[in-house]
Amino acid sequence: MPFTKINAANLGGTTLPALNGSALTNISAGKLLQIVEEERSSSAYSTSSSYSDIFSLAITPSSTSSKIYAIVSIAYNLYQNGSTKHSSGDFKLLFSVGGSDTTLARNTVQDTSNYSSDSTDQANSTHTFACLFSPNTTSAVTVKVQQKANHGRIGALGTNGGENASMMQLMEIGA
């Protein structure tokens, strides 16, 4: 098979990456600058149809060009609450700078099974958010997760709720 010459200009630059010893040079890539994380220690249950905070974690970017990558894993419980079949609820991921909230994502979780006729059954599962965003600030950025019940009860599980606890991890990615 013949070799083909790669022109650096066709790749958007003037210099191709090179191997210098054991390191690549002439590469521009994002850098992981910091990580903050939190694991819920207690469970938070709700039957309310209004959103309430279940997580709140702050990170302060070192540059206005930094991006934040949020990974949230919510171990949750849906309960039919004795009268409601097909329990469901919503989770919402937001970020806030100076008190002004911006919604990044919202998802509905639901249990569509009827386990018994008395409507007291529960279902546990996990929901994950993974989101990259640019807050364009060097002020503290607070990332929040909220939940609300649509039918029955919803609950984000903490370490006291079993093996699978809800957690959030925020990473600052530099240019």
* Residues β-bridged to residue 147: 52, 91
Contact 168, 143 (CB under 8 A): yes
pLDDT tens for the chain, residues 1 to 175? 556 566 655 555 566 666 666 666 666 667 899 999 998 888 888 888 999 998 899 999 999 999 999 999 988 877 776 665 677 888 899 999 988 899 998 887 777 665 555 556 677 778 889 999 999 999 999 999 999 988 888 788 887 655 668 899 999 999 7
- Is 41 buried (19+), middle (13-18) or exposed (0-12) by CB count in 10 A? exposed
Residue 48 Cα distances to 14, 45, 75, angstroms? 58, 9, 19
CB 120 within 8 A of CB 83: no
How far, in Å, CA of 61 to CA of 51, rounded? 27
pTM higher than 0.85: no
